[in-house]
């Protein structure tokens, strides 16, 4: 490509001397599960929507009393540290990326930042902490930031963490949905989860993260909006899902191509493509369109939305955690993480699996 690349991406020649790598991935899934059939039985109006067939989602984990965004995030951070060789005191930066900021069942906290509470809970008091908000691309945005700080040698080790506590979104949607065209339909695909990832400076010779890139296709910034409900506890989310999908199909492939070009890779050299998990149908369509536009297929496309639902900012790392735990990823595999989120945010991270696979060797 001649001229500037569209995506803000790294590494750039001559800038930053270090390589970053994923050191550990942790998660927290609430024990309770709700099937799609149970959820659809709770709608106020009689609908003929076959949500399971439409989305491929069979169930999702849901929180019980006493669990919230903060407990999910903190438990995921602890799981991540338990798999890591780093004590919490090694963390120099802690970034919280939760969209839902529940500290208590229906209490959405603005200030103080969640990252402050999390870093204190896990024992990283000296870490610089802040919260970011970038919809479902939040955790990957945090990785993008840590990658830059580590590459330039400002820090050696940091954590991105998120807990998504969806209370209210599903319940409020279930009250109003009548047809498949309801702008709140996407709220019924959501699931609860926490995830955390440690990014550190790689040792010499470790391939680590090959490429990161992000951009905002702001012409579509208002296609998905989440805000507190007016007459009910919790929040509501209004999504033009079909339009978002159309935009992602048209504008996504050239952006993926840019990052692959920058990394000197072809799509068929990617062993695992882990896309944002919205629905099985959307992922399969995306896979097909990407292959048509780029003329190649990744070796595997990861789908976990069927069992977890769309867990917002945590989906990519929940999927990564699962595939590491199931020992499907092997050392040397090339993985492409792809975020598509409200905004419209598109983020890509390409990395090579290394000792990361060993962090899931033993049960925790």
Partner 1 sequence: MTTRIDAAATSVPRRRWFGRDGALHLSDAAARTCLTRGHHRSSELELVINVGMYKDHGLAEPALASMIQEDLGANLGHPPQAGTHGTFSFDVLNGGVGLITAAHLCDAFVGSGVAKLAMIVAGDADPSPRTTRHYPFSAAGGAVLLAHDDHGAGFQRFLFRTYPEDAGLFVASTRWDPHAGRVRRGRNVLELYEAPAFATRCSEEGRAVVSELLAQVGLPPSGIDLLVTSAYPRTFAQDIARGLGIASDRLPRLPAALARAHTAGPIASLEVAIQSGQFARAKHVVFVTAGAGLTIGAAYYRTDHRAAQLAA
- Contacting residues for 48 by C-beta, under 8 A, at least 6 apart: none
Q: Which of 83, 220, 322, 360 binds partner 1 (CB under 8 A)?
A: 220
Residue 308, φ and ψ in degrees, nearest 5: -105, -20
Q: How far apart are the first and last CA of the chain?
A: 46
**How many angstroms separate the CA atoms of 53 and 198, rounded?**
36
Using DSSP's 3-state secondary structure scheme, residue 355 falls into: helix
Q: Is 2 in the site for partner 1 (CB under 8 A)?
A: yes
Q: Which of 230, 264, 326, 363 binds partner 1 (CB under 8 A)?
A: 230
Strands 157-164 and 20-28: unpaired
**How many angstroms separate the CA atoms of 90 and 176, rounded?**
48
Mark the segment that binds partner 1 (CB under 8 A) among 23-31, 103-111, 179-187, 267-275.
Answer: 103-111
The residues in 108-147 that bind partner 1, with binding defined as CB under 8 A, are 108-113, 116-117, 120, 125, 128-135, 137, 141, 145
Mark the segment that binds partner 1 (CB under 8 A) among 78-86, 97-105, 271-279, 331-339.
Answer: 97-105
Q: Is 90 in the site for partner 1 (CB under 8 A)?
A: no
Q: Which of 32, 45, 222, 288 binds partner 1 (CB under 8 A)?
A: 222
Q: Is 69 in the site for partner 1 (CB under 8 A)?
A: no
Q: How far is the CB of 30 from partner 1 (least distance, A)?
A: 21
Q: Is 344 in the site for partner 1 (CB under 8 A)?
A: yes
Judged by beta carbon, residue 40 or residue 128, the one nearer partner 1 is 128
The residues in 260-289 that bind partner 1, with binding defined as CB under 8 A, are none
Asked if residue 251 lies in contact with residue 346, where contact means CB atoms within 8 angstroms, the answer is yes
**How many angstroms separate the CA atoms of 70 and 104, rounded?**
8
Q: How far is the CB of 90 from partner 1 (least distance, A)?
A: 17
Tokens of 144: 């993008």
Judged by beta carbon, residue 56 or residue 158, the one nearer partner 1 is 158
Mapping DSSP onto H, E and C, the string for 251-279 reads HHHHHHHHHHHHHCCCHHHCCEEEECCCC
Q: Which of 44, 45, 152, 331 binds partner 1 (CB under 8 A)?
A: 152
């Amino acid at each position: 490509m001649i001229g500037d690349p569209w995506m803000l991406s790294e590494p750039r020649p001559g800038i930053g001397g270090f390589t970053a790598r994923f050191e550990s991935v942790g998660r927290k899934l609430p024990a309770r599960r709700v099937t799609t059939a149970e959820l659809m039985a709770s709608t106020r109006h009689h609908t003929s929507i076959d949500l399971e067939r439409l989305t491929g989602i069979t169930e999702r984990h849901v929180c019980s009393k006493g669990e919230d965004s903060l407990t999910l995030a903190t438990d995921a951070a602890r799981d991540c540290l338990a798999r890591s060789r780093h004590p919490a005191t090694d963390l120099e930066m802690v970034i919280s990326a939760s969209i839902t900021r529940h500290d208590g069942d229906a209490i959405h906290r603005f200030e103080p930042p969640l990252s402050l509470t999390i870093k204190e809970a896990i024992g990283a008091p000296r870490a610089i902490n802040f919260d970011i908000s970038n919809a479902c691309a939040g955790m990957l945005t945090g990785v993008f930031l840590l990658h830059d700080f580590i590459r330039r040698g400002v820090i050696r080790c940091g954590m991105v963490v998120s807990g998504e506590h969806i209370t209210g979104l599903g319940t409020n949607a279930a009250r109003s949905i009548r047809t498949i065209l309801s702008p709140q339909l996407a709220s019924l695909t959501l699931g609860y989860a926490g995830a955390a990832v440690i990014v550190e400076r790689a040792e010499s010779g470790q391939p680590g993260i090959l490429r990161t890139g992000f951009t905002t296709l702001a012409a579509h910034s208002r296609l998905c909006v989440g805000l507190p409900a007016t007459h009910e506890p919790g929040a509501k989310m209004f999504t033009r899902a079909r339009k978002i999908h159309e935009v992602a199909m048209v504008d996504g492939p050239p952006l993926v191509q840019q990052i692959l070009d920058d990394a000197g890779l072809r799509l068929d050299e990617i062993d695992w493509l882990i896309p944002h998990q919205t629905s099985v149908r959307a992922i399969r369509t995306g896979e097909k369109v990407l292959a048509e536009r780029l003329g190649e297929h990744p070796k595997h496309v990861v789908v976990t939305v069927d069992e977890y639902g769309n867990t917002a900012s945590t989906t990519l790392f929940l999927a990564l955690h699962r595939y590491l735990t199931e020992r499907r990823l092997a050392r040397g595999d090339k993985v492409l993480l792809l975020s598509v989120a409200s905004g419209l945010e598109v983020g890509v991270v390409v990395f090579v699996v290394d000792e990361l696979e060993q962090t899931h060797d033993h049960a925790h």
